[in-house]
Amino acid sequence: MAFVNLSLVLGTMLVGIPIVLHLVMRQQPKRMVFPAVRFVQRRQESNRRTLRLRHWLLLLLRCLAVALAALALARPSVSSNLFGNWIIIAALTLLVLLIGVLLLAGILTRQGRLLLTSLGVVGAVACAGLLTMLIGTLRQSDTSLIGDRQTPVAAVMVFDSSPRMQYRHANRTRLEQAQTIADSVVRQLPPDSQIAVLDSRAIAPVFSLDLAAARKTIERVRPTGVPRSLDQLLTTALQVLDPNSLKRKEIYVYTDLTAAAWELDDTARLQAQFAQAAEVALFLIDVGVEQPRNVALGTVQLSAETMPENSDLVIRTTVSMTGHAAAGDAEETAVELWVEDYDPTLPILREREVVLPTARVLNRHEVALSGNDSETVEFSVRGLTKGTRHAELRLVRQDALPIDDRRYLTVTVCDPWFVLVVAPSDVDTSALVEAIAPYQYRLENRATYVCKTITPEELVNHDLAEYAAVAILDPPPLSGSSWGQLGTYVRDGGQLALFLGHHAGDASAFNSADAQELLPGRLGRQYRVAGRDEYLAPHGYEHPILRPLRSIATSVPWGDFPVFRYWSLPELANDAVVVLRFGNQHPALLERRVGHGTVLTMTTPITERERPAGRQAWNELAGPGDWPRFILVNEIMRYLTQHDAGRYNYTAGQDIALANHPDQDPSRYLLFTPGGETQPVQARDDKVTISTAEVPGVYRLKGERDGPVTRGFAVNLPASASRLERTTREQLDAVLGADRYQLAVNQEQLVREQGRQREGREFFPFLVVLVTVTLILEQLLANRFYRDTDTGAS
């Protein structure tokens, strides 16, 4: 507790005046003869007690009035966060006084012992509460700082520099507005203050040398694509402030108060931290807009990131609207797809300018949105030529928040994958070929796979190196050299798919050492199933092959495609993984890594005719309506051929790793960032790793290996970056603790809150009210006590 006029506290000594008047100035009685003394005697005792009580009560009120008036003029103030405590203390003091008066009255008027005892107990409890509260509050309060505006401050300026802060209102982005306010805050900080500037990148800052340096740092704050939550920033700020030796510590948070900036699900942690650092004052400066309006493009979804030439690329995104006019009042906008021309010589630095390939509008979708709804937009692109291709989705209409008006995407277009299909002549290979490369697509030259079919006999001495994958359908027992050839192929990175069937005949041929190198385990007997009760029964859908089925898992009619016979595998190799099982938990599809390659083995064929001649069918997987098999086959082939296809589309902040084959790709690149900057990048461990891609846009890598090589990737902001819903006061209270922070929306309010925080909260108005109440009470009591006199005399 601090006083503006400390000397006036001495004024409380004037309390002595009424006491002296009461004790010393007591008038001497007039002595007179009066025969009717007998009427006086009887009532004299009780009268004297009442009289004394009234006198004491009046004396108490007068003393209280004098003391309170003196205290009010001394203008005491306490730090804002302890204000509540002091109010409670004052209330408790009044309670104790009241109980004291009641107790006195009870004793003087000789009330019952029970009443007096209970009053005494209540009074003692109140006294104990008052003492505890007083000691606790005094221990907490550091009054040396209150009331002095010129004490140096250790301040951390925390900027929410998330992309949302680029929201433009009144022709200023929110970040600019924050910087302006911060600049004026720094200007009016006391000299010798220490300032650290922290933005959403959450790099622990150091205190600037002087205020001018701090202002420079504030000017340099730029939005970041990878914002940390304000919770994390505040934790960092507290850590920075903790060792500082200055006594007054303040944190200024400049934010648009969007809900996305806070971790609203874990509120207790930060609240506890702030409760611990009670000396730190927290100011929230709300630079946000009350009702933001925004049209945003959502996350881009691509049908594939790596695709063969001529195949279709499907691009899907959502257009959503925030805070626009009421429903029914549709606003129209359009989304354009811009695709860059392919030019391996670009980008290039020409006269310090980065020259980029030209982009053209390939397609355009009109969108009409109303209210807070969203709409999905889909583009289909065909005929992209080979190479790394960059494209962009753009909203035609500009709005207040430009960061989500563009979405970037990168795909790599390559040759189709060559697949060697090995099958005995009586096996129908079309079941596989038509599934992965349909006739129509083959005609139009846009099939993803180019299939070549040979018999197992032709496999010997067939050059496998050019094939992305080899699929062996219902293999007969193969010669040792064939197994050896396949083994070499797989170890060198080849992909092999085996669909075992009735041609396998004797299992022992597959249990040879050469075969077992590739197979997932020793083949047992052919397992027969009576009836139609056994079928494929995927359990989890974590494996990439099953992932496309995950969303429709419950509606896949596996039961319509029963399996009657399959090869049992009593012993599995240590490194074999079961991808898919039958209902009885026997393995149906297994994966085994061999060298650099992968072998997928299915224990029942996928090419079984419905009624094969001379024997029973092994399954009905290829029965009518066999779309699950279609998907399964396609996913198996995709998994085999594209498992190492790179990712080219990232979210800001993610670590980026592009595969770099040392025998095909350059080892050094020049990185062109979307901001037009360049930096050299070195490939290491067959990878190009970039960890600084925070700005959304297209990043291009350019290297030299037998001519220019261009690669690249696209970085987008997460969709949450443009969520503009505001936090409510309740949420803030939950995160920071009620009364733990001061909220200001402009500079004047901030100055006021600062004053309140630094000068504490004054008791003056409360004291004046108390003085008034006391005086009124005194008057009322005095009037009531002496009214009898007046009426009696009249």
Q: Does 30 bind other proteins (CB under 8 A)?
A: yes
Least Å from the CB of residue 15 to other proteins:
24
Q: Please, which residue, 33 or 203, has the CB nearer to other proteins?
A: 33
Q: Does 243 bind other proteins (CB under 8 A)?
A: no
Q: Please, which residue, 33 or 465, has the CB nearer to other proteins?
A: 33
Q: Does 25 bind other proteins (CB under 8 A)?
A: no
Would you state the structure tokens that stand for residue 728, as one six-digit string? 């409510």
The residue from 17, 20, 21, 51 that contacts other proteins (CB under 8 A) is 51
Q: Residue 233's beta-bridge partner residues? A: none
Q: Does 460 bind other proteins (CB under 8 A)?
A: no
* Beta carbons of 299 and 718 less than 8 angstroms apart: yes
Q: Please, which residue, 50 or 374, has the CB nearer to other proteins?
A: 50
Cα distance between residue 384 and residue 362, in whole Å:
11
Binding region for other proteins (CB under 8 A) out of 10-18, 41-49, 668-676, 750-758: 41-49
Binding region for other proteins (CB under 8 A) out of 35-43, 261-269, 444-452, 698-706: 35-43
Going by C-alpha positions, the residue among 411, 387, 400 that lies closest to residue 337 is 411
Q: Please, which residue, 33 or 513, has the CB nearer to other proteins?
A: 33
Alpha carbon 314 to chain centroid distance? Answer: 29
Q: What is the 3-class SS of 454-482, one letter each residue?
A: ECHHHHCCCCCCCCCEEEEECCCCCCHHH
User: Is 272 strand, coil or helix?
Assistant: helix
Element (H, E) at 450: strand 449-454
Cα distance between residue 358 and residue 350, in whole Å:
15
Cα distance between residue 530 and residue 51, in whole Å:
111
The residue from 7, 24, 25, 36 that contacts other proteins (CB under 8 A) is 36
* CA-based torsion, 225, 226, 227, 229: positive or negative: positive
Least Å from the CB of residue 126 to other proteins:
32
The residue from 7, 25, 29, 465 that contacts other proteins (CB under 8 A) is 29
Element (H, E) at 168: strand 168-169
Residues in the chain, overall count: 794
Q: Does 245 bind other proteins (CB under 8 A)?
A: no
Least Å from the CB of residue 32 to other proteins:
6
Q: Does 728 bind other proteins (CB under 8 A)?
A: no
Least Å from the CB of residue 145 to other proteins:
53
Least Å from the CB of residue 38 to other proteins:
6
Q: Give the amino acid at 101.
A: V
Q: Where are the beta strands (DSSP E) in 267-358?
A: 280-286, 294-297, 301-302, 306-308, 313-322, 331-340, 348-350, 353-355
Binding region for other proteins (CB under 8 A) out of 48-56, 266-274, 525-533, 623-631: 48-56
Residues touching other proteins, count (CB under 8 A): 30
Binding region for other proteins (CB under 8 A) out of 21-29, 106-114, 253-261, 758-766: 21-29
Find where tokens 């053209």 sit: 360
Q: Does 37 bind other proteins (CB under 8 A)?
A: yes
Instruction: Report the phi/psi class of residue 715: left, alpha or beta, with left for phi > 0 and alpha for psi in -120 to 50.
Output: beta
CA atoms within 13 A on the CB side of 579: 21
Q: Does 615 bind other proteins (CB under 8 A)?
A: no
Q: Does 794 bind other proteins (CB under 8 A)?
A: no
Binding region for other proteins (CB under 8 A) out of 32-40, 237-245, 311-319, 768-776: 32-40
Least Å from the CB of residue 750 to other proteins:
60
Q: Does 613 bind other proteins (CB under 8 A)?
A: no
Q: Does 171 bind other proteins (CB under 8 A)?
A: no
* Beta carbons of 341 and 315 less than 8 angstroms apart: no
Helices 268-276, 230-241: crossing angle, 10 deg rounding: 20
Which parts of 769-788 interact with other proteins (CB under 8 A)? 785-786, 788
The residue from 17, 20, 48, 192 that contacts other proteins (CB under 8 A) is 48
Going by C-alpha positions, the residue among 291, 298, 224, 296 that lies closest to residue 261 is 224
Binding region for other proteins (CB under 8 A) out of 20-28, 121-129, 520-528, 611-619: 20-28
Would you state the structure tokens that stand for residue 529, as one six-digit string? 């199933």
The residue from 7, 41, 291, 461 that contacts other proteins (CB under 8 A) is 41
Least Å from the CB of residue 779 to other proteins:
17
Q: Does 328 bind other proteins (CB under 8 A)?
A: no
Cα distance between residue 442 and residue 439, in whole Å:
5
Instruction: Report the phi/psi class of residue 696: left, alpha or beta, with left for phi > 0 and alpha for psi in -120 to 50.
Output: beta
The residue from 7, 461, 555, 789 that contacts other proteins (CB under 8 A) is 789
Q: Does 50 bind other proteins (CB under 8 A)?
A: yes
Binding region for other proteins (CB under 8 A) out of 45-53, 243-251, 274-282, 643-651: 45-53
Q: Residue 322's beta-bridge partner residues? A: 294
Q: Does 113 bind other proteins (CB under 8 A)?
A: no
Q: How many CB atoms lie within 10 A of CB 633?
A: 26
Cα distance between residue 591 and residue 643, in whole Å:
13
Cα distance between residue 740 and residue 721, in whole Å:
27
Q: Does 27 bind other proteins (CB under 8 A)?
A: yes
Least Å from the CB of residue 53 to other proteins:
11
Least Å from the CB of residue 49 to other proteins:
11
Q: Does 792 bind other proteins (CB under 8 A)?
A: yes
Binding region for other proteins (CB under 8 A) out of 39-47, 326-334, 479-487, 756-764: 39-47
CA Rg value for the chain: 42
Q: Does 109 bind other proteins (CB under 8 A)?
A: no
Q: Which alpha helices (DSSP H) does 207-317 contain, by range? A: 211-219, 230-241, 268-276
**Binding-site string for other proteins from residue 484 to residue 503, where x marks contact by CB under 8 A and - marks none:** --------------------
Least Å from the CB of residue 788 to other proteins:
5
Q: Residue 397's beta-bridge partner residues? A: none
The residue from 24, 35, 112, 611 that contacts other proteins (CB under 8 A) is 35
Q: Give the amino acid at 149.
A: R
Q: Please, which residue, 54 or 491, has the CB nearer to other proteins?
A: 54
Convert 667-677 to b/e letters by CB count within 10 Å (16 or more is b): eebbbbbbeee
Q: Where are the beta strands (DSSP E) in 656-747?
A: 656-659, 668-672, 678-682, 687-690, 697-704, 708-716, 741-744
Would you state the structure tokens that stand for residue 772, as one six-digit string? 């008034």
The residue from 19, 23, 40, 259 that contacts other proteins (CB under 8 A) is 40
Q: Does 439 bind other proteins (CB under 8 A)?
A: no
Going by C-alpha positions, the residue among 406, 361, 410, 413 that lies closest to residue 382 is 413
Least Å from the CB of residue 47 to other proteins:
5
Interface with other proteins by CB under 8 A: which residues? 26-44, 47-48, 50-51, 54, 785-786, 788-789, 792-793
